[in-house]
Structure 1
Amino acid sequence: MSKSIMLLGTASSVGKSTIATAFCRYFKNKGLKVAPFKALNISLNSYVTEEGLEMGRAQVVQAEACEIKLKAWMNPILLKPSGNIKTQVIVNGKVKCDMDSYKYKDLNVELKDIIKETFNNSSKSYDLIMLEGSGSCAEINLKDTDIANMSMAKISESPVILIADIDRGGVFASVVGTIMLLDEDERKRIKGVIINKFRGNVEYFKSAMKQLEDIIKIPVLGAMPYFDLDIEDEDSVTERIKNKDNNSGKLDIAVVRLPYMSNFTDFNSLGRLNQVSLRYVESAKDIGNPDLLIIPGSKNTIEDLRAIKKNGIFNKIMELEKSGTLILGICGGYQMLGNIIEDDLGVEGYITSETGFGFLDICTRFNKTKITKQSEGKVVLDKISLIKDIKVFGYEIHNGISNVNKNAIPFIKLNNGEIAGVTNKDSTVFGTYLHGIFDNGEFLNYFIKYLLELNNMEDIIEDTTSYDEYKLKQFDELSKILENNIDMKMVEKIINI
């Protein structure tokens, strides 16, 4: 029988996902076979497994920290808000339905049974299951429909560690208030508290932690410091896409922050390069004159296309294209760069069509069947010799099928001959359906080299570590921070391992 531990939060974005990743890596390094589990994710950031099943990226990161294969059961329910009070419901990797958000309660009982069955069937072959809650565990108005927090702790019979964020203020009230709002049997499940995002000297905080312990009668296991490691976050409410002072990068790469932007993690590997200054822009005036402008994926492509027409970004990008600025679209961004997007079936909403930029000679039509698959291929563009024949891989998550017309020049072809991306005749505008394309070390290095040469910049490669190796090093650093600041002996005692 697997052991388990569950991390719950006093609020959203307190750092549960990152601490769960730290736990995964710590116990993996201790020699245990560990797997993550989150009953329900609400996120536009998703991934596709080898089997073509869709899951939230938080558990992808945690599985990577465990160094195990990604499986959709690790996140059995994924909700993807898509505007117009619609939410796509993904169950064990496959789209179940698109529902009105207020009808979630009707589906809740069925989902709870699915989660219980999935957990019981899939968790048995591991030494430890690292469970993570969703949002706050003390939302009393949502208690009847809870399937991700205390309800899951009971299903899995897991002891609970409560995570609180001191950086937002009011940490003592948030811990005490959360515990007070729980039922008595739920309080008994909480075996420890972790204070997260602590800044300063923890020695001066120890007396405060003791005061909190005296009030709640639960051990405070320590304070995780505020750190600057490159660990992927769960969703777009993240420090990662808040622009920071970063003038050291030579290449200015701007990513349009769409209202329904999905899979912003496509650009994490770009952001770690010393040659790159990566920034996210929400208005036309913030765009400036970048060396590369990227339009990312979107959960509601037509709505986002309309939004950037309204806020002026569309016209700014039109100007950039005329001046020869390199433009790249990924997935929804790729569709926007074409001639038209048609949605006669109402897959995304009530708007049936919208004209695109017209930079790429493709026309996209949405269909009911969602494409989710991992894909491999190569760059077939003769005009840019540096990246020609470079192998690429990634994953596709999209509803639309793009018809490639005569003036579209193939950019990426998959191994099955399918065109997964095109460019214009001047090779200044590119588009592809491949998420994660920059996680390809060879493609990333040569693409950056091409940008540097194009802008007459010196090519300095300071970090040749593959992205996978880089991530494992970050996980190990995270594990050390956990071990140095949290009473892991007490945690092991709580888990009984």
Structure 2
Amino acid sequence: MSAKTIMIQGTASHVGKSVLVAALCRIFKQDGYRVAPFKSQNMALNSFVTRDGGEMGRAQVVQAEAAGLEPSVDMNPILLKPTGHASSQVVVLGKPVGNLSAMGYHTDYAPKALAIIEGALNRLLAANDMVVIEGAGSPAEVNLQEHEIVNMRIARMAQAPVLLVADIDKGGALASVVGTLELIAPDDRARVRGIIINKFRGDISLFQPAVKFLEEKTGKPVIGVVPYFQGFRVQEEDTIPEDRSRAELVEEQGWVDIAVVNLPHISNFTDFDPLEDEPDVRLRYVSKGSNLDEPDLIILPGSKNTIGDLAFLNRSGLAAQIVEFYRRGTPVIGICGGFQMLGRELNDPLHTESEIPRLDGLGLLDTSTTFAPEKITTQVEAEVAGSGLFLCETSDNRINGYEIHMGRTELAPDVRPAFTILVRSGEKVFFPDGAVSPDGLVFGTYIHGIFDSDSFRRRLINTLRRRKGLEPLQASDTLLVHEQRERDFDKLAAVVRSSLAMEKIYGLLGMEGPICHG
């Protein structure tokens, strides 16, 4: 074992483990080390496709970007994608191996996965100076401890000291720390070498008595108190962003309103982060019981259970609302599963995704989708092929993205595709993707990440602006996705570095500290 290791575990889910791992990856990179993230098992519907076609959790992709590395499935060897009640698709080293119930996975498959996890971890250890490991949920889930493969068992495998994170913004942070340490085995308790309090608001001096209490009660040092940071974004693992009022929208410039339908099995909602970060966009996630209001654009996102989520749209009345808005002239875009829902029909004869064998689609595109067991996971380069409201062909009409889908969609003879895929997994191809309606108001695509393209995204937003009688904004006044993400990683690193006792963390790693500054 060549690389040093450290592990971030939490007192519960959503305490900020993923973001703190990303912060440490950027800090160690800035300090001159080659560092990689690792999470043995991730349960998430936000996923990504690597250059070689492997599927992995989006959180580890973000952490890899923070570390300055290309994502690898070794960073997340086991990915669980929930498909319904107490069942998930199991993705191992980037490839799906089938759907398993929660009981079947924990008792039968998880123990067999340890060798796969250890192999992936060892490859990262051999290629890096250090590996920052993320746990999942809480190590104190006594009902899961016997079969878990993501918390203390991995800490022991990696010989990693553990930092325990609690979210004080939710309340009960002190009790959760004390209770977690009480419920884990003595040997694992000894492996916890420090405590991090996350998402703190207010005057830090008023929290010092709590720090003293925790250290005296647990015998563990509080390594730092991280503030609730605002003003920059690091992509979340699996939490829909709260609807923001966007007070910073510039009224004199005006803004456009985009409604994303929040499906029960929504996947890859990070597709829409670049839209939300634009200065003239109000992006909302609309759920059952929510009002679509009067959006300038409706987006149907990806789904891990497309037919099930389409049935939800029908039951909730959202399907009828979407069709009615289209008839009144509101444009609609579908990504992956959302694209499939826009068609005439969806067929699942082998019950690949659902127990429902067939369901009528929204009928906004003349297409038919049939699900199949084989999963397509590939990075792509494409160009605009369709026409209409958003798909005008220009000198700069290339996009990069990735596909993750199990359906095959057939277009009626007179339907034009939205894009043409020119490169798939590094090989030149010429393959149609998606579809666009004859009136140009509706288009769908299998390609995730199309809004990461700065020029395509800005043209789309400016088209919406013109429809509202607003002047278009110049690209120089708006977001550049890659540059913004790099700035946000640096801002995150600065906040976390100033909040944690980094000299103590280096001490836990057995290292003297930075080898360079920058």
Confirm whether residue 397 of structure 1 aligns to residue 404 of structure 2: yes
Counterparts of 2:448 and 2:375 in 1: how far apart (Å)? 15
Shift of 1:460: 2.6
Within a 5 Å distance, the mapping from 1:178-197 to structure 2 comes to 178-197=180-199
Say if 2:388 and 2:441, in contact at 8 Å, map to a contact too. no
Q: Quick one: structure 1 residues 128 and 283, their matched pair in 2 at CA, closer, same or farther if it must change by over 3 Å?
A: same
Confirm whether residue 447 of structure 1 aligns to residue 460 of structure 2: yes
Say if 1:375 and 1:393, in contact at 8 Å, map to a contact too. yes
Confirm whether residue 13 of structure 1 aligns to residue 14 of structure 2: yes
Counterparts of 2:311 and 2:381 in 1: how far apart (Å)? 32
Deviation string 1:409-436 (CA, Å, 9 cap, x unpaired) is 2211111221112111110011000111
Counterparts of 1:206 and 1:227 in 2: how far apart (Å)? 20
TM-score (norm. length: structure 1):
0.97
Q: How many residues align?
A: 494
Shift of 1:469: 1.1
Q: Quick one: structure 1 residues 321 and 116, their matched pair in 2 at CA, closer, same or farther if it must change by over 3 Å?
A: same
Counterparts of 1:434 and 1:129 in 2: how far apart (Å)? 31
Percentage of pairs with the same residue = 42
The match for 1:246 is 246
Shift of 1:267: 0.1
Say if 2:262 and 2:286, in contact at 8 Å, map to a contact too. yes
Within a 5 Å distance, the mapping from 1:196-215 to structure 2 comes to 196-215=198-217
Q: What code does the residue aligned with 1:144 have?
A: E
The match for 1:45 is 46
Say if 1:273 and 1:463, in contact at 8 Å, map to a contact too. no
Shift of 1:261: 0.4
The match for 1:376 is 381
- Structural RMSD (CA): 1.4
Shift of 1:86: 2.5
Shift of 1:386: 7.3
Say if 1:361 and 1:406, in contact at 8 Å, map to a contact too. no
Shift of 1:368: 0.8
Confirm whether residue 408 of structure 1 aligns to residue 415 of structure 2: yes
Q: Quick one: structure 1 residues 386 and 141, their matched pair in 2 at CA, closer, same or farther if it must change by over 3 Å?
A: closer
Shift of 1:36: 0.3
The match for 1:472 is 486
Aligned residue for 1:494, secondary structure, equals: helix
Aligned residue for 1:318, secondary structure, equals: helix
The match for 1:222 is 224
Q: Which runs of 5+ in 1 are unaligned?
A: none
Counterparts of 1:26 and 1:140 in 2: how far apart (Å)? 34
Say if 2:277 and 2:479, in contact at 8 Å, map to a contact too. no
The match for 1:327 is 332
Confirm whether residue 165 of structure 1 aligns to residue 167 of structure 2: yes
Counterparts of 1:84 and 1:354 in 2: how far apart (Å)? 20
Say if 2:74 and 2:123, in contact at 8 Å, map to a contact too. no
Say if 1:38 and 1:132, in contact at 8 Å, map to a contact too. yes
Say if 1:7 and 1:132, in contact at 8 Å, map to a contact too. yes
Counterparts of 1:483 and 1:96 in 2: how far apart (Å)? 40
Counterparts of 2:478 and 2:510 in 1: how far apart (Å)? 41
Confirm whether residue 143 of structure 1 aligns to residue 148 of structure 2: no
Find runs of 4+ consecutive structure 1 residues off by over 6 angstroms: none
Moved more, 445-454 or 70-79: 445-454
Aligned residue for 2:163, secondary structure, equals: strand
Shift of 1:465: 4.8
Confirm whether residue 422 of structure 1 aligns to residue 435 of structure 2: yes
The match for 1:30 is 31
Counterparts of 1:120 and 1:417 in 2: how far apart (Å)? 39
Say if 2:6 and 2:131, in contact at 8 Å, map to a contact too. yes
Say if 1:21 and 1:62, in contact at 8 Å, map to a contact too. yes
Which of 233, 239, 248 is the matching residue for 2:236? Answer: 233
Aligned residue for 2:273, secondary structure, equals: helix
Deviation string 1:158-191 (CA, Å, 9 cap, x unpaired) is 0100000111111111101101111111111111
Confirm whether residue 493 of structure 1 aligns to residue 507 of structure 2: yes
Counterparts of 1:215 and 1:112 in 2: how far apart (Å)? 34
Q: Quick one: structure 1 residues 68 and 98, their matched pair in 2 at CA, closer, same or farther if it must change by over 3 Å?
A: same
TM-score (norm. length: structure 2):
0.93
Aligned residue for 2:136, secondary structure, equals: strand
